């Protein structure tokens, strides 16, 4: 059974905040949001230790165990600010949101930014269900773009011995949310990548 739309949105918002967390307090607050969506997750031994593990996996310093950037997984040569970043930036421009996301200080292809982009696309499309551009863009972004890299990212996180139970739980909820989001996408025929001219509103 699919989750109710409101539940799916709340879970996505909590996941967005979790993967964007700057410290232990922000992780704990976002995790409470995940629990509020009806989950029964494990509890951390220490949020400070969870913060250290989170930084080793996603933030640094040093080489990241599981970089939360789509360009790392989708570009021919894994790197930040690559072709996938440019594609996501073009989606933001189509939605008229480039300034909003740039002000966040995170690259356009960061996981949390992409979750927020998917939420924006969902809200815009639900408000204008007959808008063909939004229908195509939403399906492309979620089913063709996000679904191409998030499962690979999730597998890397879950395979890492440095991943504590609470982060593993959040990643599994991310996978569940992505599956549910794909299930409610409107269909389209033979669409590969939308054109990047004009604006969706």
CA 26 to each of CA 20, 44, 118: distance values in angstroms, whole numbers, following the listed order: 9, 14, 22
CA 136 centroid distance within chain: 19
Residue 200 has pLDDT above 50, yes or no: no
pLDDT value of residue 1: 39
CATH of domain 5-183: 1.10.3480.10
DSSP letter at 163 equals -
Q: Quick check: 72 and 79 in contact, CB under 8 A?
A: yes
C-beta atoms surrounding 80 within 10 Å: 15
| Range 91-98 average pLDDT | 87
Q: Give the orientation angle of helix 47-54 with respect to helix 24-35, to 10 degrees.
A: 100
pLDDT value of residue 78: 63
- Which tens digits make up the pLDDT trace of 12-27? 999 999 999 999 999 9
Where exactly are the structural domains of the chain? Answer: 5-183
Residue 199 has pLDDT above 90, yes or no: no
pTM of the model: 0.87
Choice between 182 and 188, residue whose per-residue pLDDT is larger: 182
pLDDT value of residue 99: 59
CA gap 75, 79 in Å, rounded: 7
Flag the least confident range among 74-88, 112-126, 170-184. 74-88
CA 152 centroid distance within chain: 13
CA gap 162, 137 in Å, rounded: 36
Residue 152 has pLDDT above 50, yes or no: yes
- Which tens digits make up the pLDDT trace of 50-83? 999 999 999 988 889 999 999 999 987 666 667 7
CA gap 3, 9 in Å, rounded: 10
| Range 34-43 average pLDDT | 85
Among 29, 28, 30, CA closest to 15: 30
Terminal C-alpha separation, the chain: 31
DSSP letter at 6 equals H
CA gap 49, 173 in Å, rounded: 21
């Amino acid at each position: 059974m699919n989750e109710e739309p409101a539940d799916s949105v709340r879970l996505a918002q909590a996941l967005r905040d979790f993967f964007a967390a700057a410290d232990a307090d922000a992780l704990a607050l976002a995790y409470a949001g995940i629990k509020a969506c009806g989950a029964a997750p494990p509890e951390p031994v220490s949020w400070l230790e969870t913060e250290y593990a989170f930084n080793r996996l996603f933030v640094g310093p040093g080489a990241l165990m599981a970089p939360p950037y789509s360009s790392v997984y989708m570009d021919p040569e894994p790197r930040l600010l690559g072709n996938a970043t440019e594609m996501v930036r073009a989606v933001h421009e189509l939605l008229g949101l480039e300034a909003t996301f740039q002000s966040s200080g995170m690259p356009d292809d960061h996981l949390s930014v992409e979750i927020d982009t998917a939420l924006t696309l969902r809200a815009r499309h639900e408000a204008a269900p007959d808008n063909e551009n939004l229908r195509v863009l939403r399906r492309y972004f979620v089913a063709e773009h996000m679904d191409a890299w998030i499962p690979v990212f999730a597998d890397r996180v879950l395979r890492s011995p440095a991943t504590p139970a609470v982060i593993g739980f959040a990643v599994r909820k991310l996978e569940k949310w992505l599956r549910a989001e794909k299930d409610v996408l409107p269909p389209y025929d033979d669409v590969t990548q939308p054109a990047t001219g004009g604006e969706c509103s």
